[in-house]
Amino acid sequence: MNALTQTPFAYDYANADCGGLRTRIGASDVLLRCSGALWLAAERTLVVADLHLEKGSSYAARGQMLPPYDTRETLRRLAEEIAALAPATVILLGDTFHDRRSEDRLAADDAEALRGLARGRTLIWVVGNHDADGPRALPGEIADELALAGLTLRHEPQAGLQPGEVAGHLHPAARVKATRGSVRRRCFITDADRLILPAFGAYAGGLNVRDEAFAGMFARPPLAGALGVGRVHAVGWRSLVGD
């Protein structure tokens, strides 16, 4: 059977009132938020990946004085999501800190803001490659991976097809092409079996989903949820190009 006669896979998706995208991963209903967070309504769980807190000061330590506001900007956006959704559980899906010394460099008010977000709910730190030990002084539980709502939540996607996996690590970004030109946005990327979340951190860069790092991960041409202004745009594989 060649590609031309193959019926395209019909993704099940719709835009929600908030501008986010409702879709299914395996048998679970999920909402892909405009912020780049994942909302599991039935479990009242908010998932964010790759905050890379203190990336700015990590560069400053090497002599490149990026504005020291990335942590508070990232936490501000996370606080907005928490205020909007009132989650019972917040899962930080790894690489929450940019490096192993990030926690020591946190400004006092940023650390306090982070503690505030944990208050009255469960905060879970799934550890990643940048922060393999988890936090030392900050509140929350530490986990390598989690099973929730029929999904497996971990930082780094495992090789090959992984039905039910929700991961971060790759910082997916989509270059979307149309007749008038192209734009590059952070994005969710999913084949309805697994989902990779965009990086949530203010200074986290993006890796084009056409990059080889994504090869072999999807059972079919995946669907991108590109983060626009107040809307997650569902974009098909053929509208995506490399950088």
Partner 1 sequence: MADSAGLPADLLPPRFADWFAQRGWSPRAHQLAMIERAQAGRDALLIAPTGGGKTLAGFLPSLIDLATRPPPNGPSSLHTLYISPLKALAVDVERNLGAPIAQMGLPITAESRTGDTGLSRRQRQRVKPPEILLTTPEQLALLCAWEGARLYFENLECVILDEIHTLHASKRGDLLALDLARVAQFAPRMRRVGLSATVDDPEVIKAWMACHRPVDLVGSHDAAGVPKTTAELAEFRRETEETAASPRISAISAVEKSSGNASVDLVRGPAGAEPIVEVLLSEGKVPWAGHTAQHAMQEVYDVITKSKTALVFVNTRFQAEFAFQELWRLNEDALPIALHHGSLAAEQRRKVEAAMARGELRAVVCTSTLDLGIDWGDVDLVIQLASPKGASRMVQRIGRANHRMDEPSRALFVPANRFEMLECQAAREAIAENKLDGDPPRIGALDVLAQHVMGCACSEPFDLLKLYDEVTSAGPYRDLPWEDFEQVVDFVSTGGYALKNYDKFRRIVKGPDGLWRVRNLETAQRHRLNVGAIVSPAVLAVRIAMRGGRGGRKIGEIEEGMVEMLEPGETFVFAGQVWRLVAVTNLDVLVSPAPGADPKMPSWGGSKFALSTYLAQRVRQLMTDQPHWQVLPADVREWLEAQRDRSIIPGEDEMLLETFARGHRQFMVCYPFEGRLAHTTLAMLLTRRLERMGRGPLGFVCNDYALAVWAIKPLDQVDFAELFDEDMLGDDLEAWLADSFMMKRAFKGCAIIAGLIERRFPGQQQKTGRQVTFSTDLIYDTLRRHQPDHLLLRCARDDAATGLVDVARLGQLLSRIKGRIRHSPLEHLSPFSVPILLEIGKERSPGHSGETMILREAEEDLIAEALQ
Smallest distance from the beta carbon of 12 to partner 1, in angstroms?
A: 10
Q: In 3-state terms, what secondary structure has residue 151?
A: strand
Smallest distance from the beta carbon of 223 to partner 1, in angstroms?
A: 8
Smallest distance from the beta carbon of 238 to partner 1, in angstroms?
A: 7
Q: Would you state the structure tokens that stand for residue 172, as one six-digit string? A: 């997916």
State how far the Cα of 134 lies from the Cα of 74, in Å rounded to an integer: 18
Smallest distance from the beta carbon of 177 to partner 1, in angstroms?
A: 7
Please answer whether residues 240 and 183 qualify as being in contact, where contact means their C-beta atoms are separated by less than 8 angstroms.
no
State how far the Cα of 32 lies from the Cα of 174, in Å rounded to an integer: 15
Residue-wise over 26-65: b if at least 16 C-beta within 10 A, else e? bebebbbbbbbbbbbeebebbbbbbbbbbbbbbbeeeeee
Rule CB under 8 A: choose which of 27, 83, 178, 215 binds partner 1: 178
Q: Contact letters (x/-) for partner 1, 184-223, by CB under 8 A?
A: -x----------------xxxxx----------------x
Q: Contact letters (x/-) for partner 1, 94-123, by CB under 8 A?
A: -----------x-x----------------
Q: Which is nearer to partner 1, 62 or 136 (CB)?
A: 62
Q: Would you state the structure tokens that stand for residue 25, as one six-digit string? A: 């991963």
Rule CB under 8 A: choose which of 101, 183, 219, 220 binds partner 1: 183
Is 171 a binding residue for partner 1 by CB under 8 A? The answer is no
DSSP-assigned letter for residue 140: S
Q: Which is nearer to partner 1, 22 or 72 (CB)?
A: 72
Residue-wise over 204-222: b if at least 16 C-beta within 10 A, else e? bebbbbbeeebeebbeeeb
* Residue numbers at the binding site for partner 1 (CB under 8 A): 7-8, 10-11, 55, 57, 60-61, 63-70, 72-73, 105, 107, 176-183, 185, 202-206, 223, 226, 228-229, 231, 233-236, 238-239, 242-243
